[in-house]
Chains A and B, each alone.
Chain A
């Protein structure tokens, strides 16, 4: 009797730990989603800028707002910069995707572990109830 209740307590403890882990993972996942959303928006805007820059004549005046001042930019340079930025964001998005997949896998295995633990606790309790 005593041993079964300590076993149950230990399982309960383990369950709590696992639940904490799970919520941590879930928090990370939602953070990942947020960052990804931000990057996706930026990617869209950069692609739009690139499209517009591509449509400009070579002699068009292009400026970049740096702090409070507009600084004149070389069109080719601006084009290259935006491209670089798009590359960077795309790479970041890819990275985020793979970490997300990772985390989702972890989340699933944690959920399974929790489910199993709950079942064990339940069967323990059921046994106790009979006894």
Chain B
């Protein structure tokens, strides 16, 4: 239902209707209950992943112990042990040929190996396990950010925060931009000129100091943006503001067809969202596009409407290098408590 509202609204913008802007109460977009539910769902995913990590950690420990054992066995010609005979019985006996091991390589293939060679194999396995654990931990980190986002949105929706968005009408039509998924130089130039413009606006509003510098480092990754649609959303001071929920004007496309994985990465999530100021503040509008950064947010908003959230953590790596500057926030947002 919610999705439809947004689509209609934004479809209108895309068609170039002379809409100045909209005021939407957050709770009408995301009911606090839905946000809560989404949060619970993410929490469940987190604990599931944590269980996997624990299991893998167990394997890793076993592997390390085995490496130590295999390392020590050739120190002696033989070791007295109880040789298992089935699962319920043992014979007293000893390990012999203590530098010979038969190792399963997988898929039913075994190979005769020395102690050293066996340890090499085991270490390779250990590394594999470690990287799996690392990946899972990264996913968990992402999920935790996601959960906190949902929690915040739930609180904000409950508090009656409203969102004001004004459409920016660019000289370039949406259509054209959509058709160029990998924009080149001119897009870059457009973004730059747009930024300049916005910076001027910002100066006028007297509140420009901190946003300006931080704006530029981001351009590099804005290059891949395919769609420019700055939204000015004014913000009220708030300690824990949520991630900007991006709903660009062509998101009727995004929202309906594009269920992508939320790829909240470190930089993504540290994007300060609405800037906290006592006075009204308009942030520079950075272009909004359908690139990865955005898709994260689209997804976040998607998740509210009850869609399934999948995870791809690959994007994380590509993004962690970006400085987590406030300016990388593609949509500035202005939140105001209802009076």
Contacts and interface: CB of A to CB of B under 8 A. Distances in A.
A49 B106 contact: yes
Interface-central residue, B102, B107, B121, by most chain A CB under 10 Å: B107
Contact of A61 (B106, B111, B128): B111
A32 interface: no
Nearest to B107: A49
Contact of B110 (A45, A46, A70): A70
B105 interface: yes
B112 A49 contact: no
B109 interface: yes
A53 B105 contact: yes
Contacts of B108: 64-66
A45 B110 CA distance: 13
A78 B106 contact: no
Interface residues of A, number: 22
A62 B111 contact: yes
A45 B107 contact: yes
B91 to A, nearest CB: 20
22 contacts: A45-B106, A46-B106, A46-B107, A48-B128, A49-B106, A49-B107, A49-B109, A52-B105, A52-B106, A52-B121, A55-B120, A61-B111, A63-B102, A63-B110, A63-B111, A64-B109, A64-B110, A65-B110, A70-B102, A73-B109, A78-B109, A82-B107
Which 9 A-B residue pairs are closest in the complex by CB-CB distance?
A: A61-B112, A49-B106, A63-B110, A65-B108, A52-B105, A45-B106, A49-B105, A62-B111, A49-B107
Interface of B: 102, 105-113, 120-121, 124, 128
